[in-house]
Structures are given as structure tokens and as C-alpha cells.
Amino acid sequence: MRDAGILAAFEKADDAIQGIFGYFVYTRAGMESAPKEALLQKLPADRMPMTFHWDRYYEPTNLVSAMESLFLNYHRRICLIAIVSNFEAAVSEFWNRLTEVGKRQAKGVKDFYKSRLAWVFDRVRISTYGGPEMVVRIPQNCRHIDHARRLRNTFLHYNGLINKKYVDDYIPVKSRWDTVPDSNDWKEDPTKKIPILLTPEEFLAFYKAHLEILHQLHDVIQREDFGETSNYNYAREGKVAEWHRMLTGV
């Protein structure tokens, strides 16, 4: 029988991650459609309110110029951080629920995300959810998810610059792991400041990987730990794409 606590954690993360992607697509479309003149009219004239106490003088045309060249990359970075954070929260909720109901977890798994991701990757190895093509993608999707974890940490703690922690702090999946191509240049000269710029294809792969593994992990837990025999299916669950719920949680 499907466990309600695991189901609730899954559906919350499923909605949140899809909501982030809906926001990403909508905002990108707006940015690409907005005339430069219209954007300038909506910006503060000459000062940005930085704190409750002080403003900072700036040039609106400089902001627009920077955004024209960097918006999509920066937007992908911010949305990836949100996707990884929601997936991490779901993994923690699954773990805590399994512990609460007395289901034995892997020995030696420490209470932090990297360690629990290794547990996730081990659990989804047996998944048959989603059909043959989705099952074949499991190892690559796991590598995408671990790569996204390292990218999130790099964006938050190292200003998005390639560094030793990003290059070395991987979880190997079938003796392989992912890095951005510029990592080779950094290895030749670790003093170089090389920013990580995500391509559209990379961001889309990270998004899809988190969503597919989330569904497969949920399915494995419900089957292996609670004896559920049916697949989770949007149509059968009567769960339509309600963007208001995905963006607000209500």
C-alpha cells in the first residue's frame, strides 16, 4: 500500500521542480520579447534601493546591456540552484519518513546531501519505472544530478568559478562523472578564474534528470518498503498541470 507521507513529499517536490521550469520558460520568453526601451522605462531612474538605509547610484543602460548578454546564463544558474535545493529537500523527507516508520536505511550514510545522494543512486539502480528508455538513462541521470549538486555548491560558495572542490568532489556512477569542458583548462592552470556558464542543453538535461530520478526513487520506495504494486500516473491520480499550485504550493 502506498505510504501517504512518502507520496506527499514526492508530490510537493514534483510540483516545485516543474514550477521552477514553468517560471524559467515564462521569464525567458518575457525577457526575449521585451523591447529595450520598455525595459528601461520600468527600471529605477538612477538609484537602486539596496538596503532600508541606502541606495546605490547606477546607470540603467549598463544594467540592460549586461542582462542582454548574461541574463540567460544567470537565469539558468539561479533556477538550477532552486531545482537542486528542492530535490535535496525531497531526499531528506524520504529519508526521515523511512526512519520514522522503522524502515532500515543504508549503514554508514552520513547526514548530508552527498552521502544521501549515493544512497539514492544505489536505490534507483533496480527501478523499472518509465519504460526501457527511461531505465537506460538512470546512470547518466545520476551523474547529471551529482554534477548539479557540485555546480550548486560552486555557484553558492565559490562565485561560480571552477575550483578543486568542484572538480574532485564527485560521486562516481559506473566509474564515470561529469565536469564542464573548461575544467581541462583549469587543471592546466589552477590560478585561472574560469566562470561556469551553463548551456541550454545542460540546464535542460539537469532539470529532466532530477524529475525522472525523483519519480523512479518514489516508485522504488513505495514498492520495496511499502508493498505498492501500481505505478504513479498523472492521469490515474487525476493530477493535471495546475500552475497556480506548482508556483504557490496551494
What average pLDDT score do residues 198-217 get? 97
With H, G, I as helix, E, B as strand and everything else as coil, classify residue 182. Answer: coil
| C-alpha cell read off for 125 | 539502480
pTM: 0.94
Flag whether pLDDT at 235 surpasses 90.
Answer: no
Mean per-residue pLDDT over the chain, rounded: 94
Flag whether pLDDT at 110 surpasses 80.
Answer: no
Rounded to whole angstroms, the Cα distance separating 71 from 46 reads 21
* Vertex 231 angle, CA 226 and 233, to 5°: 130
pLDDT of residue 90: 98
Cβ pair 109, 119 in contact under 8 A? yes
Flag whether pLDDT at 215 surpasses 90.
Answer: yes
pLDDT of residue 1: 86
pLDDT digits (tens, 9 = 90+) for 47-78: 999 999 999 999 999 999 999 999 999 999 99
What pairing do the DSSP bridges indicate for beta strands 55-57 and 47-49? antiparallel
Q: Among the residues of the chain, which ranges form H helices?
A: 4-33, 36-42, 60-100, 113-124, 132-136, 138-157, 164-168, 183-188, 200-226, 234-237, 243-248
